[in-house]
Amino acid sequence: MKMSQNTPDKEDQSSTNKKTISLPISRVRLIMKSSPDVSSINQDALFLTTKATELFVQHLAVASFNNGPGKATNSLSYTDLANTAEEMETFHFLTDILPKKILARDYLQSLEQMQDGNDDDPDF
């Protein structure tokens, strides 16, 4: 059963997802308030944002899992996420915070290749 932020005696009153949310609303509110020019947020907006965030996590996780090579290995890695952010327009806004990681030696190799290719270009 999905755990929630509720106290135990409230569990039987609600089925999951009906009104229970598995993310701390106060924290969501804090993040929202850190945006410039945000004065107040009504309850509906807070609820919707929190719920949307849940959906977002699920969406991102599933899309990345299915998209990357991780599907074969049954695992989700950072690279899967970075690839998904680049390939799916919905997640383009994440590309800045999800730079693709590259092994140091690969980077050095590609540097070398660049330099080799520019031997005849004195302006490089």
Partner 1 sequence: MDGDSSTTDASQLGISGEFVTSGQYVFQSQDDDGEENLNDHDDGGIKENFREQDIYLPIANVARIMKNAVPQTGKIAKDAKECVQECVSEFISFITSEASERCHQEKRKTINGEDILFAMSTLGFDMYVEPLKLYLQKFREAMKGEKGIAGVPGGDGLGDELTDDNFTNPLPAGIITADGQQQNVMVYTTAYQQIPTVQQIQFS
Interaction between residue 18 and partner 1 (CB under 8 A) = yes
Q: Residues 6 or more apart from 108 whose CB is under 8 A from it?
A: none
Instruction: Out of 56, 107, 109, 115, name the contact with partner 1 by CB under 8 A.
Output: 56
**CA atoms of 51 and 18, how far apart (whole Å):** 11
Provide, rounded to whole angstroms, the least separation between the CB of residue 102 and partner 1. 15
User: Please, what's the largest Cα pairwise distance for the chain?
Assistant: 76
Positions touching partner 1 (CB under 8 A) are: 2-3, 5-7, 10, 13-14, 17-32, 34-49, 51-58, 60-62, 64-65, 74-78, 80-81, 89-90, 93-94, 97-98
